[in-house]
Amino acid sequence: MLSFYIYQFVPIVLVEAIVLWRMKWAALPICIYDSLLMNFASFLGLVLGLGPYITGSMPWGLTLFGTYSVMVEGTALMLLERREPRLVWAAVLIANLLGCTLFAIETLVSSIPRAMVVGEPPF
């Protein structure tokens, strides 16, 4: 399970950094740094105990992950005090919506070969 989180860390950091950059958060290197900080805070919570609950069933696990991620990453960006709260929460919601969409697409694509095997559930 830890390898899954590590494998997903870099793409999510990049996707969320691009969202921050496109929302005129700051220059791209600062956006990457801020995305790294907020995702590291989220990653620590996953590793320290929330991970098994999130990797459960697909829709509920993804919903729990999205909610958790928005709360933790929004708080981390608020503590940086770089922008007003309205922009912080908008950026976090959009970034995590795209991140969760990336997870959902990856899960669906990876389940296609398993769906071809008779008798095995797709998720």
Tell me the whole-structure pTM to 2 decimals: 0.76
pLDDT value for 122: 57
Per the model's pLDDT, the better-predicted residue between 75 and 117 turns out to be 75
Q: Residues 69, 55, 57, CA angle at the centre, nearest 5°?
A: 110
Per the model's pLDDT, the better-predicted residue between 2 and 96 turns out to be 96
Q: Record the tokens describing residue 54, joined without a space.
A: 């999130």
pLDDT value for 18: 93
pLDDT value for 89: 93
In angstroms, the first-to-last Cα distance of the chain is: 15
pLDDT value for 101: 85
Residue 4 has pLDDT above 80, yes or no: no
pLDDT digits (tens, 9 = 90+) for 52-103: 666 555 667 777 778 888 999 999 999 988 889 999 999 999 998 888 888 7
What is the sign of the dihedral through the CA atoms of 24, 30, 34 and 40?
A: positive
pLDDT value for 90: 93
Q: Lowest-confidence range among 9-13, 65-69, 103-107, 117-121?
A: 117-121
Per the model's pLDDT, the better-predicted residue between 113 and 12 turns out to be 12
